[in-house]
Structure 1
Amino acid sequence: MNTSTRPQLLAAGAATVTVVLWASAFVSIRSAGEAYAPGALALGRLLSGAVALGTLCALRREGWPPRSAWRGIAISGVLWFGVYMVALNWGEQQVDAGTAALVVNVGPLLIALLSARLLGDPLPSRLLAGMAVSFAGAVTVGLSMSGGGGSSLLGVALCLLAAVVYAAGVVAQKPVLGRASALQVTTFGCLVGAVVCLPFAGQLVEQAARAPLPATLNMVYLGLFPTALAFTTWAYALARTTAGRMGATTYAVPALVVLMSWLALGEVPAPLTLAGGALCLAGVAVSRSRSRTARIAATAPRRPEEARESA
């Protein structure tokens, strides 16, 4: 394998793991959410993830992140791991799945705009075009899944809050990944989020005592895989590309949710839903593609000093 393409393939693989596991989270949340309140579910998920991540950090002897990384870790931990998970869990109980998908998918657009404004990330035409196609697909999926009378103003506001704090958390996390490892950033962000959700500890204990086993297992699954593993692979991939590009990748999630709901729950998608999912995937492909000039530059041999700088 060409050594210049290996990091790109690893980052693409990490991003793929992330979107697949995040898509599976929607199916698990549906089961666990029947027995656990939004805050209790978020805390249980974060505690499960923190235990797994903390154990892995100890085994790898990662240590504490540098002091310069703590501000970004704290911001992303409070917003993305804490507020986002509670708001999304609560919002999805107030609106139908289609409306939730529509509102939350504003997040990648906000990531692109915030990262361009605050981090100086470029907004290439392919990224913007791909995001437009994917957002149209998300709208199509949302409209096809929306049920009459199933939404509330509070639910829409909560989903919008989730989208905003998700975008802010990603933009806060991006610069930190140059100072701390993906595992450190994810582990301590998860710990911060768990601390934010500690007010729900009593509710978690009470509901865990009477929750059916499948609901509790789904909560633990959410902590181990869509949180511990997927947030780490996300951070790994984010460190190797722009925030806007990574945000656009998550537009594959609605398409995967449709497929997983079909396979796992027997929910046969309507033709319009399938068309929207196809648009989501097409937009992701466009947003992650590069122009011929960029491909040539990426595969061209680098000067010795450039290789030393990237080592």
Structure 2
Amino acid sequence: MRLFLATALTMTAFAANSVLNRMALVDGRIGAGDFAVWRVASGAAVLLFLVVLRDGRIAIGGGRGRWAGVLSLSVYMVGFSLAYLSLDAGAGALILFGGVQVTMFGGAVALGEPLPARRWLGAALAFCGLVWLLWPGSGAGGADAFPAAAVLAMAAAAIGWGIYSLVGRAAADPLQSTAANFLLASPLCWAALWLLPPMPAPGGGEIGASAGGIALALVSGVVTSGLGYALWYTVLPRLAASVASVAQLSVPVIAMAGGVVFLEEVPGWRFGVAALVVLGGVAIASIAPRSGRRAGQRSGSQRADQRSSGSSGS
């Protein structure tokens, strides 16, 4: 029961990042770039504190793998915030979630990993669900409701997080690696902030960083990102790989519920059907047959799958 509650709390934290980001931007409380900077910097602070508390030190090295992780994390952070200037919380989470899974599948193909038929089928379903949701001119929640710039920003975020997840599979200490990546991504996100054009406020002028907007970014960075990832890496070794993957199917659903409760968002029928197709495809790709799970346990592949599952939150 305790494991179930910890897993549920972690999934809620991942989903809350979408709600908090959208909540901060929808009323012009803070700019998208400012939100990303405050989120990644505060997340780095709490993750570094946890690692130092545990080990007494922090290791920053890692070679090319480290910088691939830092760059992809920065793309995720900035793209995620920019997308929520226009996307609803649930829609953004679904596009991100589906895009991450498709990116990781493409990475597995490019790396020549053996892929069973169920993973091909699952990835195809997830991709078709996203295409149908975003197809132009279809109405009822299609691309007419989703500005192209916002969709492209979230697609970039999904690719960034997918690459980050692929790179992170080789991390011997995911918590320490994540802390170092957050620390090094902070100045990159700060540089991106200065490259972004000024954003007009709803009442005129430029969007500033209000106390309320900064507070939401800090909650996202410290609680739902930093502490959320730390809790996930504590729970993950105790979960079967298939359970860890399937648990993350709840993230877009929780984000959609949060958008309805806190932001008064009303998703249409098209979004609901697309969500079922995307999440169903991911479920098919994630749930291994019982015999496959036993074989995975004998070969040690299940532990590798767990590491990849641990990095696909938002």
Q: Answer yes or no: same fold by TM over 0.5.
A: yes
Question: Residue 295 in 1 paired to residue 293 in 2?
Answer: yes
User: Matches of 1:140 and 1:257 in 2, distance apart?
Assistant: 20
Aligned to 1:217, which of 215, 219, 223?
A: 215
Report matched runs for 1:186-225 at 5 Å.
Answer: 186-199=178-191, 200=193, 207-208=208-209, 211-213=210-212, 215-225=213-223
Aligned residue number for residue 309 of structure 2: none
Say whether the 8 Å CA contact 1:96–1:147 is kept in structure 2.
no
1:12-31 matched pairs, under 5 angstroms? 18-31=10-23
**CA gap 1:197/1:183 in 2 versus in 1, 3 angstroms:** same
Alpha-carbon distance in structure 2 between the residues aligned to 1:270 and 1:182: 38
Q: Cα–Cα, structure 1 residues 235 and 91, in superposed 2: closer, same or farther, change >3 Å?
A: same
The answer to whether the Cα contact below 8 Å between 2:22 and 2:85 also exists between their aligned partners in 1 is no
Provide the residue aligned with 1:58 in structure 2.
Answer: 52
Q: Distance in 2 between matches of 1:169 and 1:73?
A: 10
* Aligned-residue identity in percent: 23
2: CA distance, partners of 1:73 / 1:61: 20
Alignment gaps of 5+ in structure 2: 199-206, 300-314
Q: Provide closer, same or farther for how the CA distance between residues 73 and 17 of structure 1 changes in structure 2, counting only shifts above 3 A.
A: farther
Q: Matched residue pairs, number?
A: 279
1:160 Cα shift?
Answer: 3.2
In the TM superposition, residue 140 of structure 1 has moved relative to its aligned partner by 5.6
Judging changes above 3 Å, is the alpha-carbon distance between structure 1 residues 225 and 139 closer, same or farther for their aligned structure 2 residues? Answer: farther
Once the 2 structures are TM-superposed, how far is the Cα of residue 212 of structure 1 from its aligned partner?
Answer: 4.5
Q: Answer with 219-228 or 249-258: which moved more.
A: 249-258
Of residues 19, 41, 48 in structure 1, which corresponds to 2:42? 48
Shift of 1:98: 8.2
Residue aligned with 2:144, SS: coil
Q: Distance in 2 between matches of 1:241 and 1:77?
A: 28
Distance 1:103 1:220 in 2: 24
Go from structure 1 to structure 2 and tell me whether the alpha carbon gap of 1:216 and 1:64 turns closer, same or farther (over 3 Å shift).
closer
SS of the residue corresponding to residue 93 of structure 1 reads coil
Matched, 1:151 2:147: yes
Q: TM-score, normalised by structure 2?
A: 0.71
The aligned runs of 1:116-135 (5 Å cut-off) are 116-118=109-111, 120-135=112-127
Who is 2:155 aligned against? 160
Task: Select between 143-152 and 50-59 the one with higher mean Cα deviation.
Answer: 143-152
Find the counterpart in structure 2 of residue 87 from structure 1. Answer: 79
Q: Distance in 1 between matches of 2:208 and 2:291?
A: 57
The corresponding residue for 1:76 is 69
Determine if contact 2:21/2:84 at 8 Å carries over to the other structure. Answer: no
Aligned residue number for residue 105 of structure 2: 112
Deviations 1:222-275 (A, max 9, x none): 10233213344566749x998x99888755433332222223333343344333
Cα distance between partner residues in 1 of 2:6 and 2:49: 21
- Secondary structure of the residue that 1:121 maps to in structure 2? coil
The alpha-carbon deviation at position 44 of structure 1 amounts to 0.3
Aligned equivalent of 1:228: 226
